[in-house]
Amino acid sequence: MNRREFMGMAALLPWLGGFPGEVLAVPARPQQRILVLVKLAGGNDGLNTLIPHADPLYYQYRPSIGVPKHRVLNIGENQGLNPYLKALKPWWDKGSMAWVQGVGYPHGTLSHFRSSDIWETAVDASQYTDTGWLGALLPECKPGLHGIAIGENSGPMAGKNCNTIAMQSPQSFLSQISLLEDIQPVATNSVLAHVTNVHHQLYAAGEQLSNKLQRPVTLGIPFSTSKLGRDLEAVAKMILTGVDAAVYMVTLDGFDTHSNQNAVQSNLLHQLAGALDSFAQAMQRGGRWNDVMLMTYSEFGRRVQENHGKGTDHGTAGVQLVMGGKVRGGLYGEPLDLSHLDSDGNPQHTVDFRTVYGTVAQRWLGQPNPWSQFGTLPFV
């Protein structure tokens, strides 16, 4: 039973009235549920992340880059983790980690830019929009600040009504926001109304953020000094300091492994696992693990057949990792069928990525599901 459930029951049980006041100091409203997105930019190779080590085809297609069976961290159902994800194994064992397999979309495009846009705007491969999938969802979810991106990429939160802040680091944000004076929204015309409203929203978000960022909590958990480690440390501090954003986003770049894949990807997965492990520990220690869901995504998976440079070329379906105190651990979706590849050598996706988004919208953020035709998955 978490704190919220406890408080819910407490209201029904008159004998609890005898408890000291602070035990029942109920927060004014339930804690904001938080989504943390980790973009694995460049196209992460799903098959060497969550490894189908019992499938002989996997080793046939990847004679030199296939991860030997004895090194794979077996997690059952013939799947195993890349050994460089070792730091995450305890979270799998605790049941707070889910993997969604075979995630993609019909007519997968092999362009980084276009596929990234598709993933971030949740459209069909033949359609275009400027509003990110969260950019449309979040303004319905809550007022005020919606999302914070560390780095430049905040694509999923793009949208003219989505109050997103992109910052290189909390320090650079503090210096930028100090230059902004407040303005009251005007109604001179609808364009100026929009500009002044956004200006005012930005000022309000800036006020809140700078107050909190100037006095961050100490986490008591060491983070690695990799860029991702530092970025997730900043996110952890913002969450535990009580910054009121629903979504945070960080990016780990470098997954475009056309050559010498194993050296590059191992290093990246090692950074990823270390940073996620520290982040999860920090959330647990700070009492927010049950309010946080962390999810990775990448613009595409990679080709099944390795290339001549011990790497892989652009592919289609990939895997997504989901973690959180409320996450129902396990494997979701069907593994890719390596015996049926299309003319480009890519397998058919088994889960549409909008199934995952719909799950986040409906089962995590408690919103109507804009992608209901794709269904949801019970990972949360």
Binding site for another protein (CB under 8 A): 111, 113-114, 117, 128, 130, 149, 152, 154, 158-160, 162-166, 176-177, 179-181, 183, 186, 188-192, 194-196, 198-199, 201-202, 205-206, 258-259, 307-309, 311
Handedness of CA 131, 132, 134, 137 (dihedral sign): positive
Query: Can you tell me the distance from the alpha carbon of 236 to that of 360, in angstroms, rounded to the nearest whole number?
Result: 20
4 C-beta neighbours (distance < 10 Å), count:
14
Tokens describing residue 63: 């004679």
Cβ proximity to another protein, 159 vs 324, nearer residue: 159
Give min distance, CB of 114 to another protein, in A: 7
In terms of CB distance, is 238 or 272 closer to another protein? Answer: 238
> Which is closer to another protein, CB of 164 or CB of 355?
164
Please, which residue, 166 or 338, has the CB nearer to another protein? Answer: 166
> Which of 185/370 has CB closer to another protein?
185
Q: Which long-range contacts (CB under 8 A, 24 or more apart) does 174-182 make?
A: 174/210, 174/213, 174/214, 177/202, 177/206, 177/209, 177/210, 178/210, 180/206
Shortest distance in whole angstroms from residue 205 CB to another protein: 6
Least CB distance from residue 347 to another protein, whole Å? 23
Q: In angstroms, what is the minimal distance from the CB of 190 to another protein?
A: 7
Classify residue 198 as exposed, middle or buried by CB count within 10 Å of its CB (0-12, 13-18, 19+).
middle
Least distance to another protein, CB of residue 337, Å: 26
Is the CB of 97 or the CB of 118 nearer to another protein?
118
The DSSP symbol for 239 reads: H
Q: Exposure pattern of 281-318 as b/e (b: 16+ CB <10 Å)? A: bbbbebebbbbbbbbbbbbbbbbbbbeeebbbbbbbbb
Contact 268, 252 (CB under 8 A): yes
Cβ proximity to another protein, 165 vs 331, nearer residue: 165
**Helix (H, G, I), strand (E, B), or coil: what is residue 238?**
helix
Note the helical H segments in the chain.
Answer: 3-10, 56-61, 89-93, 112-121, 133-141, 170-177, 190-214, 227-241, 261-285, 353-359
Contacts of 139 (CB under 8 A, 6+ apart): 146, 159, 161, 162, 163
DSSP string, 149-183: EESS--GGG-STT--EEEESSHHHHHHHHTTPPP-
Minimal distance in Å, beta carbon 258 to another protein?
6
Pick the closer one to another protein by CB: 226 or 307: 307
Give the shortest CB-264-to-another protein separation in angstroms: 14
- The minimum distance between CB 122 and another protein, in angstroms, equals 14
